[in-house]
Amino acid sequence: MTSHQHHPGELDHPAEDRAPQGEDLAALLERLLAEVPEKTQKDLAAKAGISYPTLNAWMNRNRGTSRIAPDTLRAMVDAFRSWGVDVTPAEMFASVGRAVPGSSDSAREARLLKLYRQLPKDKQRDLIKDAEAMLRISRVS
């Protein structure tokens, strides 16, 4: 008599992470794009500053979404809102299984530093001069 042989790695359920509660990113984007039938994935990619192949991979669930930058998620929200679609950052972040990051001082500082580092040296100097001028003006007020 033979019994069913268990194969290592064979499980009753897939080894993948469970999708976040509710819609995943692909489902959310598909629903939102359906609200603006004149807009395409390419339009969304261009408006949000995302490469089309990346957006398409998210839509086809061929690429993970856990590491999408918060600014990218917010850019997609802004794109949809500019087209008259009602969507919140909380919905977009939830679709990738994350909470909306708060606007803490350290987050603002990190964002400013990231932008600063992307500027050429002459523009970094200009930014410092502008910040110093804003500081002087704010002290007068």
How many whole angstroms from its chain centre is CA 112? 18
Res 108: pLDDT: 77
Calpha distance 100→65 (Å, rounded):
15
- Provide φ and ψ at 51, rounded to 5°: -70, 140
Name the amino acid, one letter, at 1.
Answer: M
What's the pLDDT at 117?
93
Q: What is the pLDDT of residues 66-110, one digit of tens each?
A: 889 999 999 999 999 999 999 999 899 999 988 777 666 677 788
Over residues 3-21, the pLDDT tens digits come to 444 444 443 433 333 334 5
Mean pLDDT along residues 102-130? 85
**pLDDT single digits (tens) 35-63:** 999 999 999 999 999 999 999 999 999 99
Instruction: Report the C-alpha gap between 58 and 69 in whole angstroms.
Output: 13
How far, rounded to the nearest angstrom, does the alpha carbon of residue 21 sit from its chain's CA centroid? 17
- Note the pLDDT of residue 48: 96
In sequence order, the 6+-apart residues with CB closer than 8 A to the CB of 64 are none
What is residue 140's predicted lDDT score, i.e. its pLDDT?
78
Q: In whole angstroms, what is the distance from residue 82 CA to residue 80 CA?
A: 5
Could you please state the CATH topology (level 3) that the domain comprising 25-94 is classified under: 434 Repressor (Amino-terminal Domain) (1.10.260)
What is the pLDDT, as a whole number, of residue 13? 37
Whole-angstrom distance, CA of residue 19 vs CA of residue 58: 14
CA distance 65 to 54: 10
**Confidence (pLDDT) at 102:** 67
Q: Per-residue pLDDT averaged across 110-133, rounded? A: 92
- Nearest Cα to Cα of residue 24 among 91, 76, 87: 91
